[in-house]
Structure 1
Amino acid sequence: MSSIDLGAEADLPVEQIDSDYNARATVTVEEFERTMGRYRDGSLAARSIATAVDVVYDEESGQTIDIFGGGDEPRPVFVYIHGGYWRALSKTESAFMAPMLAGRGIATVAVDYRLAPEVDLAEIVREVRAAIAFLHREGRRYGLDPSRIYVGGSSAGGHLTGAVISGGWHEAFGVPEDVVKGALPVSGLFHLGPIAKSFVSEWLTLTDSDVAALSPALNIPKAGCPIVAAYAAGEPAGFGRQSQGYHALWQSAGFDSTLMEIPDRHHFDVVLDLERADTQLAGALLQMIR
């Protein structure tokens, strides 16, 4: 099976799909809890540089963002979209990179969105796109530069990062097609075909039309920003294949893409490398923004 043909993964046996996308099975309970604690502790430390918290970005859903490190002069902004298989976590655990970025003149925005099964994936995607539109429209009020928006996220947040750099949604939200200037999807899910047949269906139903409309791999834009598709060496196999396939699709469309496997990291701790500027992942993000 070609790494580019991500749709063919849906034809794999269900048992293999479940294994290939079960990140929790790759770490112990103790390691998982320790890593979640690092998310929370690092994000709590970022509160000292908060510019604004609980800012409503979407009146329809009432969802909010937290903004860190905005400047007197508008700064480039990294928008972080959390993971959790679309059913867990929040912006409260999603600002651990803000102090490192603020020290280099870059603001951070952590995004909340409603979770499954309260809402479906189409609504989750609409909400994160609304967050990007809000920052483009209102960012200067918070010391952010609307012309320098960069987006990243981990796991389900990697999928949602792909959703905001996909084509076909910008006009409806009143933003230019190049509203996002660069993206860092980490351990992302770009073709939802196999996910629709996996254990994720216990809390998130994906129809064939959902797969077609909401898979970034099936909605490559006409004009794409530079991306870094990163994943951990300790990922379950499916996540690595997804990043490899999306990278290949992005390059095939003529866009700038870097594929990055991070050694000595697993699915949950890889994104914590954004806390420190001297890591491979943070270096890629800083270079993109510069």
Structure 2
Amino acid sequence: MTTPFEELDWRSLSQEALDSGLNNSAAVAGSGEMVDGWGKLSAEMRARHGAHLNLAYGPRARNRIDFLKAAPNAPTLLFIHGGYWQMRAKEFFTMFAAGPMAHGINVALIGYTLAPEVTLEQIVAEIHAGIDHLAGRLAELGADASRLVASGWSAGGHLTSMAMQNKHIKGGVAISGIYDLEPIRHSYLNVKLGLDEAMSRRNSPMLLTHGAKPMALTVGGAELPLLRQQTADFAAYRAYHALPVIYEEIPGANHFTIMDQMASPAGRITTMIREIIERV
């Protein structure tokens, strides 16, 4: 019988168990092919919305934002891709703009430099720089500059939570994120990330003071227990501190299929995004 995630303590796990407990790609058969499929559908969507691609916000090659316009004077969702801060790119995730755009929400997808070329702390700084740049350009892009919210999947869920500290971000929807970096620091993932304890603590949303911006936190019911625990614990942290939070497990969804709920205009994550935007 599988141990309930509420009873898990990553510190008690063997190195092998901790590593496998964080390895989403190995846990979901066919995940590589699934992500390749995302890339193909995303290329098709980029071809249909090519007017504002690769807007530069910084000097590095990945310091680029794709802006997909849904409607004039509309709110904007900034989407932050995942890949444990060391894999993938924004170009694989354009297809997920379809759900929000169907409801008149602009979508901006941000790229960032991957580890080990930069530290996780530098990645966080790039996200903030990108937000500042985008916020300064929303009016010229024909968007409502006062309504900018963030969302992200996996490592992007972590970066979404860190982005909540930016004055331009009014709310967030974090999907299957990491909110305590200490398990990451002790796992195979730290070979490229190079976290030390101080950097881990400075960049763990569970250990930071947060303002009262609304957040929705979601995770798949079929995800790895350590990932489900991360989301549940962060939701409990926000509730304890009387911070606005929606917490929901999506039944049957794994770490990859959960994104179907954003690709669809009727998907649960699309609805969460709409609910957060209505509150800002």
Q: Same fold per TM (> 0.5)?
A: yes
Cα displacement (A) at 1:14: 2.6
C-alpha deviation, 1:37, in angstroms: 2.6
CA distance, structure 2, for counterparts of residue 110 and residue 235 of structure 1? 24
* In 1: Cα distance, 2:23 partner to 2:242 partner: 32
Q: What residue number does 1:228 align with?
A: 216
Whichever residue aligns with residue 40 of structure 2, its letter is D
Task: Decide whether the 8 Å contact of 1:182 with 1:227 is kept in 2.
Answer: yes
1:251 counterpart SS class? helix
Which ranges in structure 2 are unaligned for 5 or more consecutive residues? none
Q: Distance in 2 between matches of 1:269 and 1:152?
A: 17
Match of 1:123, SS?
helix
Query: Is the Cα–Cα contact under 8 Å of residues 96 and 259 in structure 2 kept in the other structure?
Result: no
Distance 2:224 2:7 in 1: 18
- The answer to whether residue 59 in structure 2 is matched with residue 24 in structure 1 is no
Map of 1:187 onto structure 2: 176
Matching of residues 268-287 of structure 1 within 5 Å = 268-287=256-275
In the other structure, the counterpart of 2:129 is 130
Describe the superposition over 1:249-288 as per-residue Cα deviations: whole angstroms up to 9, x where unpaired: 1111211111111122211221232111222222222222
The offset of 1:134, in angstroms, is 1.2
Partners of 2:58 and 2:73 lie apart in 1 by 22
Question: Distance between the aligned counterparts of 2:200 and 2:68, measured in 1?
Answer: 34
Which TM-score applies when normalising by structure 2? 0.90
Q: CA deviation at 1:62?
A: 6.4
Whether the 8 Å contact between 2:119 and 2:193 is mirrored in structure 1 is yes
The 1-side partners of 2:204 and 2:277 are apart by 26
Aligned ranges for residues 156-235 of structure 1 at < 5 Å? Answer: 156-166=155-165, 170=166, 176=167, 179-221=168-210, 223-235=211-223
Structure-1-length-normalised TM-score:
0.87
State the alpha-carbon separation in 2 of the partners of residues 250 and 4 from structure 1.
Answer: 17
**1:61: how far off?**
6.8
Three-state SS of the structure 1 residue aligned to 2:79 is strand
- Please, which moves more after superposition, 37-46 or 148-157? 37-46
Displacement after TM superposition at 1:216 (Å): 1.0
- Return 280-289 or 112-121, whichever deviates more: 280-289
Matches of 2:62 and 2:19, distance apart in 1: 34
Name the residue aligned to 1:245: 233
2:224 and 2:275 mapped to 1: Cα distance? 28
Q: Which amino acid aligns with 2:196?
A: T
| Conservation of the 8 A alpha-carbon contact between 1:84 and 1:156 | yes
- Cα distance in 2 between the residues matched to 1:180 and 1:252: 22
The one of 248, 261, 264 equivalent to 2:249 is 261
Could you say which residue in structure 1 is the equivalent of 2:111? 112
Q: Distance in 2 between matches of 1:27 and 1:202?
A: 22
Aligned equivalents of 1:5, 1:251: Cα separation in 2: 20
3-state SS of 1:181 partner? coil
- Secondary structure of the 2:216 match is strand
Give, in angstroms, the shift of residue 99 of structure 1: 2.9
1:65 corresponds to: 65
1:262–1:281 contact (8 Å) kept in structure 2: no
| 1:127 to partner: Cα distance | 0.4
Match of 1:173 in 2: none
Note if contact 1:186-1:231 (Cα within 8 Å) is conserved in structure 2.
Answer: yes
Q: Using the alignment, how far apart are the partners of 1:113 and 1:9 within structure 2?
A: 29
Q: Distance in 2 between matches of 1:286 and 1:261?
A: 18
Change (3 A) 1:254 1:61: farther
Give secondary structure in 2 for the equivalent of 1:230.
Answer: strand
Give the letter for the 1:21 counterpart: L
Aligned to 1:139: 138
2:172 match: secondary structure: strand
Q: Secondary structure at the match of 2:77?
A: strand
Q: 1:256 to 1:50 in 2, by over 3 A?
A: farther
What's the counterpart of residue 56 of structure 1?
56
Secondary structure of the corresponding residue to residue 146 of structure 2 = strand
1:14 maps to 2:25: no
CA contact (8 A) 1:153 1:161 kept: yes
